[in-house]
Structure 1
Amino acid sequence: MVLTVEQTRIPVTGVHRRYTKRRLAVTDALDFWSFAGAAANVAMQMMNPGVGHGVVESKVDSGALMKRPWKRARTTTQYLAVAILGNEKEIDAFREAVNVAHRQVHSAPGAAVKYNAFDRNLQMWVAACLFIGFEDSYQLLHGRLSEEHAESFYQSAAVLATSLQVPRDMWPATRGDFDDYWVRACAETRLDEPVAAYVDDLLHLRMINLPMRLVFGSLLRFLTIGFLAPYFREQMGVRWSAADQRRFENLFVFVGFVNRFIPRFLRFGGSYSLMMDLRHRISAGKPII
């Protein structure tokens, strides 16, 4: 099967909001709705065999999504906040905290799937998925990016990779080069057991308690599937109709409209609160993750 960009990206409607003339950056995408596709993003990341088996087989229980979902949600979103908003000292502190956990994540001798959390190619894939998530959610809220805005947004997102172990020259030079990388990387993904079982638990929110699952489960599952590109939906075996796609697009047209009337400090408040928490942890000498 020869993949195309269209198969590996979610459809985005035309522009429904006029863009500013200034350069866009990933800092503009820290709206709380940008995290609506978080579960879909994790699923995409785990379809890389090295990432998937690294997560499923990890012995680091303190950060396990299925065992400590709220802590994992906090540390993951905090990483995104510090990568985008943090200064060099804050990024270094968070990187070292992540490194402590990553030193314990590597495949056992003789394992069918070889992986190491310090593998730059695996970290590059994770960063690429995160960028795709931010770009998709931004475009759903504001409309399709022009080539100029897409390029400036992309260049600013390199911090998602360089805040880990990925050197700047591994991040594709242009947005067009990234598309080439993305299609090649997606073609190498697969969903095998036990990763498929883990992703199914994630899709059905089995890591949260039953009352919350009953209240929010249907909406979050709808958002998760909606944020998956057709190629990933096929691998996961989930159904998504044309009517589902229309409802998904209409939801974000509505949200994008409502967002215009919500003050920026409320929409971005979660990310800035995470930065305040991080700075408190650093100054108090508390564990970061």
Structure 2
Amino acid sequence: MAMTAARAVEPSDDIEPLTVEQTRIHIPDGHRLGSKRPPRLGDALDFWQFAGAAANVAMQMARPGVGHGVADSKVESGALMVRPWKRLRTTASYLAVAILGSEEEKTAFREAVNVAHRQVKSEPGAAVKYNAFDRNLQLWVAACLYIGFEDSYQLLHGRMSPEEAEAFYRTAAPLGTTLQVPLDMWPATRVEFDVYWNEACRLAVLDDKVAAYVDDLLHLRMIHWYFRVFFGGLLRFLTAGFLGPYFREQMGVQWRPIDQRRFENLFVFVGFVNRFIPRFVRYLPTYVLMSDVRKRMRKHRAMI
């Protein structure tokens, strides 16, 4: 398994429509433990959701408006390559608020993000036009986040049935509506989401500038060298595993059948071990982040 970000070809109307097999990772068939109620997005708050974080950011950046917005951002206080841990905290806090927060907490976090987003817009004459308040770009980011939750949940618990997948999806709209995505923009059903996703992926193409940025991300150059020495191999493996074939091709990631088997076997093992870890332990990082957000609100401190 190797990673070298590569420039992709611009989409054309002559290209065949993308399929789920191209744009999503493979989830093996397997027995899933029964549940007394339909699954919800909140059930995917296991700490293993963070395993695909780098892959999710890379997918988001494959959309030019997002990629250039991140690469050109003047908001260094939350820049991924400058302050990666703060960026991780901010994103994870957003997810915690979107899923667990009250309407008051969502509004407060939205306003805090808006302050940073006002500075993220393209300069006149820029090769790629973007604005952080573009609802289409925000919908794309929210869709990527949903993909991350659904993939990690199924890897740990087994493939969901269509009915379970629909129930899980019905709780996901706040990933977008917590910011500027209106509810009527969020695909109404899980089937409609697949249609949106495959069409939106055709707009996900890397140019040289964003490809170089993503290459730094895939090789974890934003963290200290000693973390890369001890954890770099595992993190690169997990990142590649959480990328669908279409994105691996975009980013020049080589992924062999043996890599896929190792990836799936890893999560069979993790899923088995998770059964014996209390839920509050597995969800502890998210609960801690939610507590931090509430503390910041009480003390009128910066949210992000």
TM normalised by structure 1 equals: 0.99
Stretch of structure 1 that moved more, 99-108 or 187-196? 187-196
**1:65 paired residue among 80, 86, 103:** 80
Instruction: Find runs of 4+ consecutive structure 1 residues off by over 6 angstroms.
Output: none
In the alignment, structure 1 segments of 5+ residues that lack a partner are none
In structure 1, the partner of 2:261 is: 246
Distance 1:34 1:14 in 2: 20
Equivalent position to 1:19, from 34, 37, 57: 34
C-alpha distance in 2, partners of 1:120/1:240? 33
TM-superposition CA deviations, 1:115-138 (whole Å, max 9, x none)? 000000000000000000000000
Q: Secondary structure at the match of 2:128?
A: coil
RCO comparison, higher one (Cα < 8 Å, 6+): 2
Q: CA deviation at 1:23?
A: 1.6
Give the corresponding residue for 2:292: 277
Question: Could you tell me how far apart the structure 2 residues matched to 1:144 and 1:221 are?
Answer: 24
Residue of structure 1 in register with 2:45 after alignment: 30
Asked whether the equivalents of residues 32 and 159 of structure 2 are also in contact (C-alpha less than 8 Å), the reply is no
Please name the residue that 2:11 is paired with: none
| Among candidates 220, 225, 231, match of residue 216 of structure 1 | 231
CA RMSD for the aligned pairs?
0.7
> How do residues 1-289 of structure 1 correspond to structure 2 at under 5 angstroms?
1-2=15-16, 3-289=18-304
Question: Which blocks of at least 5 consecutive residues in structure 2 are unaligned?
Answer: 1-14
Q: Which amino acid aligns with 2:140?
A: W
Q: Which amino acid letter does the alignment assign opposite residue 52 of structure 2? A: G
| d(CA) in 1 for partners of 2:208, 2:117 | 23
CA distance in structure 1 between the aligned counterparts of 2:181 and 2:235, rounded to whole angstroms: 31
Q: For each residue in 1:230-258, what CA deviation from the matched residue of structure 2 results, as whole angstroms up to 9, or x when unmatched?
A: 00000101110000000000000000000
**Partner of 2:7 in structure 1?**
none
Counterpart code for 2:298? S
Which residue type is aligned with residue 39 of structure 2? L
CA contact (8 A) 1:15 1:145 kept: no
Distance 2:268 2:36 in 1: 21
Report the residue type matching 2:45 in the other structure. L
CA distance in 1, matches of 2:61, 2:142: 12
Offset at residue 35 of structure 1 (A) = 1.2
Shift in Å, 1:5: 1.1
C-alpha displacement at 1:19, in angstroms?
2.8
Post-superposition shift, 1:17? 2.6
Q: TM-score, normalised by structure 2?
A: 0.94
**Superposed displacement of residue 18, structure 1:** 1.9
Rounded Cα–Cα distance in structure 2 between residues aligned with 1:75 and 1:171: 23
Query: Contact (CA 8 Å) 1:141, 1:252: kept in 2 or not?
Result: yes
The SS at the match of 1:37 is helix
Q: Deviations over 1:41-62 (max 9, x none)?
A: 0000000000000000010000
Give per-residue Cα distances to partners, 1:157-179, cap 9 Å, x unaligned: 00100001000000011100000
Query: How many Å separate the matches in 2 of 1:46 and 1:208?
Result: 19
What is the deviation of 1:188?
1.1
Deviations, residues 66-86 of structure 1 (Å, cap 9, x unaligned):
000111111110000010000
Contact 2:60 2:67 in 1 (8 A): yes
Aligned residues: 289
